[in-house]
Structure 1
Amino acid sequence: MPPQYSWIIPIYNEEETLREMYRRISAVADRMDGLVEFILINDGSRDRSLQIIRELHQQDKRVCYLSLARNFGHQMAVTAGLNFARGQVIVVLDADLQDPPELIPDMVEKWRQGYQVVYAQRLKRRKETVFKRFTAYVFYRLLKSLAEVDIPTDTGDFCLMDRQVVDLLNAMPEQNRYIRGLRSWVGFQQTAIRFERNPRFAGDVKYTFRKSLGLAVNSLVSFSKVPLRLSTYLGLLSAALALFMSVLVLYWRLTSPDSPLTGFATIAIAIFFLGSVQLISIGILGEYIGRIYEEVKARPLYTLAEVGGFASQNSNSNKRQK
């Protein structure tokens, strides 16, 4: 019998949290009104995460798992789980327990009311640094103002999606994936469940500043053309300033021929300004061209080293990676 619910949990070096995470999701699943499958995706972990996942699979056949051949990143691990999910209701949550599984029954209730996407919206981030809270606040509001689709603020990948939505996401072949943006792009009835985000149960933060910055750049480039237009605006601004400067230098030359303002300093400032505009524009173009290059290669989104608990799907694993 196929499961009613599929819970997708990407894992990267989470040996300290896995058993507690399993205890909590099992307690919630036991209260559900249908069969639940737990899809654990080992994203190239270097610790004992895969071994613990295998042990959980042996003691509970609801636990299915995918082990990626290397670390492909959080978004690709979620994508792999979506490809293999068999349920009519799919939930994505993190293994660090910052996304409380106890919210899932409330999400399911919203789904029964007719919503096809139910996302968890953070009201508060407990025990996070001021810098982290500030940068997250700025990023989500900047993305919302620049993106061509309405991406809710203060939301992560913790969400519930209907089978119809997941089938559409699986049909999208793009390489640079931003799941929370894609689920907004597909449309359908969507609503929020608000919660206060807890600190990690154990272990170190996996989303470093560098990874968070990369995800932010990817989201902006994937869902907005404003950065491309920015280079045009900078070019127009530099042209206007250059014209103004030419008039000003001519005025100084006629009224104060011995003024140092008409010499090397003025020329150097103009050169540095125009050079910076050109470099910014080239960098923006490079971001978009780099993504075009990734798309045209059409490589598989991920590769699998091991699959457990998907007996009926093993023969189709190659097709599902594309």
Structure 2
Amino acid sequence: MPLFGSLYNGTLHPSIFLLVGIPGLEAAHFWLGIPLCFIYMVTILGNCTILFVVWVEESLHEPMYLFLCMLAVVDLAGSTSVVPKMLCLFWFGSREIHFEACLTQMFSIHALSIIESAILLAMAFDRYVAICKPLRYAAILTNPAIVKIGSLAVARGAILTAPFPILASRLPYCRTNVVPHTYCEHMGIVRLACAGSGVSNMYGLTVALLVVGVDLGLIFASYARIILTVLRLPSREAQAKVFSTCGSHLCVIVLAYTPALFSFLTHRFGHHVAPCIHILIGNFYILVPPFCNPIVYGVKTRMIRDKVANLLLRRKDIPKSGAK
């Protein structure tokens, strides 16, 4: 297969890209694959457990847990779009990724990140309605309303991300096809172009600022109203209970946005940061939230913790009851 052999929309692009992995740590790739595989396995197990528990327990068919299921699906899709190829790179030296597959991975990563941000906003809205407008909770967050929120989250992610691969595919890549990263990330790809990528860079910056700015602003506004409402409660025990119900969601927000903001800032402004730090932060942003989210909700949400324990105890009792 020729390296530079196909035309796409009148521009020259490589048939394949070559992923480097983590620059400077190539010798440690095999060993880095071990914790990566563990993280991926726990991510699949934890998120599938959340989905299964909510599915089988009718008492959990409530907006809060339905949004949590959406988050679990997005986390599974996001990890699966990246980790298998990374493991092939780390363990088997499989560096090649076809141009079209690279663009597809780019679209998946950024679209799922935007969808996850929208779901976190929806979860904050859920807590706001539950605490600040409890009498209208059932009327506002109906099943059709939840379906519409989920559909809008997916549509927003797809629409805002679609220009990324389109703009990237129109750039000529005549200098190199070597990607100094573990996956196809928008900024990492367009920097390889041998023509001006200002439009693509500006669009990526605008989308990032718009999504993070709007979603985080609305999340902060929701929790500001929640805090004011909780502080008016006469009982400290009631205040502690309400804050406890919001604790898991706040932990997930910190896990999702902190590495994402670090990755964004180091890409745009961290020109003196070592390349391996860029890549490690980018991997942290992709891998850690899906790994930690089910653990956080499993530990801090009593209903999920109790349902998982009940299911495990029920399975242990089945052989005993059958023996009788």
Structure 1 length-normalised TM? 0.26
Higher percent of residues as helix: 2
By relative contact order (CA 8 Å, sep 6+), the higher-ranking structure is 2
Higher percent of residues as strand: 1
Answer with 1 or 2: which has the greater Rg: 1
